[in-house]
Structure 1
Amino acid sequence: MREIVVLSGKGGAGKTSVTAAFAALAENKIVCDLDVDAPDLHILLDPQNTVAEEFLSGNIAQVEESDCDGCGICRGVCRFEAVTITARGKAAIDPRRCEGCKACVALCPRRTIAFPPRVCGYFARSDTRFGPLIHARLDPGGENSGRLVALLKRNAKELAERQGHELILCDGAPGIACPVISSLSGATLAVLVTEPTPSGTHDLLRVAELCDHFRLPMGVIINKADINPEEAARIEAACAAKGRTVLGRLPYSPDVTLAMKARKTLPEYGGPLADDIARLWEAANALANACAKAK
């Protein structure tokens, strides 16, 4: 089984559009959206028959008002100013401020503060016109995005094994933080989408170094390459100096925006970019096959 993770060092480089296009072209695959903080792959894939479960991570303090005498000890020990005393003389905890440190629970003399698991979002499986989609959403401020990404990858792998899928195609998060690190675990190939700008080059090199650290093969796609041919050439030269594969270039085109407005992938929308993206998929798929055989 192969696993391709599409990443970009920064947001807005075109990672999700490329992933959705690959999903339209790939065969016998499961699609997985690992950008749990700001998922958007579902906009293009239009998931149906969604089955969701709560994602629990950490704990949150909750006051049982009937037993609280309003002594205020919990308010005094809370470093996050999550505790207030209400007009009824009872303690109340703001869930948006509570960090789950458990200090108030441990020091409450009347043991009136519960400490249940915190619901931080959901994870789900859906049907799409391109096959199963494993996806999730972390609540704003929710903790443990890396753990949620690992959960999605495990669910995708188990489903692929049960149903005989040969490929897991993942849309990763931008940047190099915890969810990206988690998304690289067990992957066959990282496809890095960048744009020929100073920030695009800088952030591409950061995520490429992260892949190097985990000894994960990578292929680079330069999106909107014609808006700055000199910077695109510098990216290719930097990749060649480190032995990194450049899968190819994509030109700037308003068809990307028009396809998104129509809620279609680039191969479905058609036009010149459809042929370009098909060539890139052939190159990425061939590289993934070679990497899988080399393991």
Structure 2
Amino acid sequence: MREIVVISGKGGTGKTSLSASFAYLAKQDAIVCDCDVDAANMHLLLDANFQDQKDFFSGELAIIDPELCTNCGDCFDVCRFDAITKEEEYHVVDPISCEGCHYCSRICPVDAITMQTQKAGDVFVSDIKNSAKMVHAKLGFGAENSGKLVSKVKQIAKELALKEDKKYVITDGSPGIGCPVISSLSGANLVVLVTEATVSGLHDLKRVHELTKTFNLKVVCIINKYDLNRVITTKIKDYLVKEKVEEIARLPYDENFTKAVSEAKTIVEFNENCELTEQIKSSWKKIENILKDA
């Protein structure tokens, strides 16, 4: 089993659409994994049915028992996150601001504060349109620990891939270089960087590539909408050559790409014969060949 992680330094590059296209082309050879837990949307393109759901618990929240609270104010004084406010007869905790540090519970003279593990999100295992399975998640409103949720999603996906003897895990990572991206890169056999021909696209490509270098991962790149700014495309190409990153595709702007998304389809099923579809199919074959030699 080999894991392909598709990431980008910024949002809007076409990363998720390409990930979904690869998943569609892989058919039943792959388990699909959406690690963009803060704003998951690949399920829309792959028609996930949300068949199995599990609660994800992470982090703790301080709870003040109003019957025990003497309103002494010690917890209010020590809270550095301004999560505790004073009511008429007792103090209360704002669940959004609380960082679960335990300080207030430890200094409470009457043990009125307890720490409760919080539900931070939901994890789903779904059947998708190409008869494969997809593991995805949704981070709860105001919840933290998205990196831990990504790790959980990847763990389930890999276990499922090993159990069902799949060739690949295709992972759609979060944009940027934060904790969710770092978690999504863990254990990857190949990282596909998706960028676009814009100034911000080039800038953020450099940032996310520097991140992958710290993990010593095999990296390839796809330049999407290369024909929007050929000057920037040349700069991206020069950077890839300098960094010895293989460019596996240079995709043109195509309105069919947007039309496919509007109909909740991947481009490879929306228009099987267009140039863009052929190039994405070619990219997937190159990825498979790279993994054979890895």
Shorter chain as denominator, the TM-score bin is: over 0.9
Q: Secondary structure at the match of 1:60?
A: strand
Displacement of 1:85: 2.6
Q: Which residue of 1 aligns with 2:143?
A: 142
Q: Which residue of 2 aligns with 1:21?
A: 21
Give structure 2 stretches of 5+ with no counterpart: none
Displacement of 1:260: 0.8
Which runs of structure 2 are paired with 1:119-198 in the superposition (5 Å)?
A: 119-130=119-130, 131-198=132-199
Matched, 1:281 2:249: no
Q: After alignment, is 169-178 or 130-139 more displaced?
A: 130-139
Q: Secondary structure at the match of 2:51?
A: strand
Q: Which residue of 2 aligns with 1:101?
A: 101
Q: Which residue of 2 aligns with 1:62?
A: 63
Structure 2: distance between partners of 1:60 and 1:92:
12
User: 2:197–2:225: 8 Å Cα contact kept in structure 1?
Assistant: yes
Q: Scaled by the length of structure 1, what TM-score is found?
A: 0.94
Amino acid at match of 1:103: Y
Displacement of 1:274: 1.6
Structure 1: distance between partners of 2:90 and 2:98:
17
Deviations 1:150-182 (A, max 9, x none): 111111111111111110000001111111111
Structure 1: distance between partners of 2:282 and 2:200:
26
Matched, 1:225 2:232: no
Structure 2: distance between partners of 1:233 and 1:287:
24
Q: Secondary structure at the match of 1:53?
A: strand
Q: Which residue of 2 aligns with 1:34?
A: 35
User: 2:50–2:124: 8 Å Cα contact kept in structure 1?
Assistant: no
Deviations 1:115-154 (A, max 9, x none): 0112211212111113111111222432222222111111
Structure 1: distance between partners of 2:209 and 2:37:
21
Give structure 1 stretches of 5+ with no counterpart: none
Q: Secondary structure at the match of 1:264?
A: coil
Amino acid at match of 2:123: F
Q: After alignment, is 152-161 or 61-70 more displaced?
A: 61-70
User: 2:202–2:236: 8 Å Cα contact kept in structure 1?
Assistant: yes
Structure 2: distance between partners of 1:209 and 1:167:
25
Structure 2: distance between partners of 1:97 and 1:178:
20
Q: Which residue of 2 aligns with 1:214?
A: 215
Q: Secondary structure at the match of 2:37?
A: coil
- CA RMSD across the alignment: 1.4
Matched, 1:8 2:11: no
Q: Secondary structure at the match of 1:161?
A: helix
User: 1:138–1:145: 8 Å Cα contact kept in structure 2?
Assistant: yes
Q: Which residue of 2 aligns with 1:45?
A: 46
Displacement of 1:49: 4.2
Q: Secondary structure at the match of 1:115?
A: strand
Structure 1: distance between partners of 2:103 and 2:179:
27
Displacement of 1:104: 1.3
User: How many residues are paired up?
Assistant: 290
Q: Secondary structure at the match of 1:268?
A: helix
Structure 1: distance between partners of 2:209 and 2:104:
44
Q: Which residue of 1 aligns with 2:78?
A: 77
User: 1:124–1:135: 8 Å Cα contact kept in structure 2?
Assistant: yes
Identity over aligned pairs, percent: 44
Amino acid at match of 2:121: G
Matched, 1:110 2:113: no
Q: Secondary structure at the match of 1:100?
A: coil
